[in-house]
Amino acid sequence: MARKPRPKIRLRLRHGSPLLKIALILTLVVCTVSLLTLHNAIARTEAETALLRQQAARLERENHDLAKNIAEVGTVQGIKRIASQMLDLVEGGANFFTPSTTNP
């Protein structure tokens, strides 16, 4: 079976109207400005997301520390920690020194 030869396609470009050229240029400019605006918005959103992730990690650490402190409240060690850190109390028999402000 013989193959039929493909028809040759001739493409002739005509000069477009000036109005069409202006419309295409305006479309390209609007698309470029839109893409740049979206790129800037994405960059801002990514920066805000990174900041919020850091804040979330910090809050999770604080939450973990608070949960640990709550668990220690009823224990002897927890009571001693609260007395020494929050109330500035010292255990009986402990030596307590305050630094002097003057040198001999």
Q: What is the DSSP letter of 2?
A: P
Contact 86, 75 (CB under 8 A): no
Report pLDDT digits (tens) over 19-64.
Answer: 988 999 999 999 999 999 999 999 999 999 999 999 999 999 999 9
Eight-state DSSP code of residue 73: T
| Cα 13 from Cα 21, distance rounded (Å) | 14
Tens digits of per-residue pLDDT, 61-96?
Answer: 999 998 988 888 878 887 787 777 777 777 666 665
Q: Which residues in the chain belong to E strands, given as ranges?
A: none
At 53 the pLDDT is 98
Q: What is the pTM (predicted TM-score) of this model?
A: 0.50
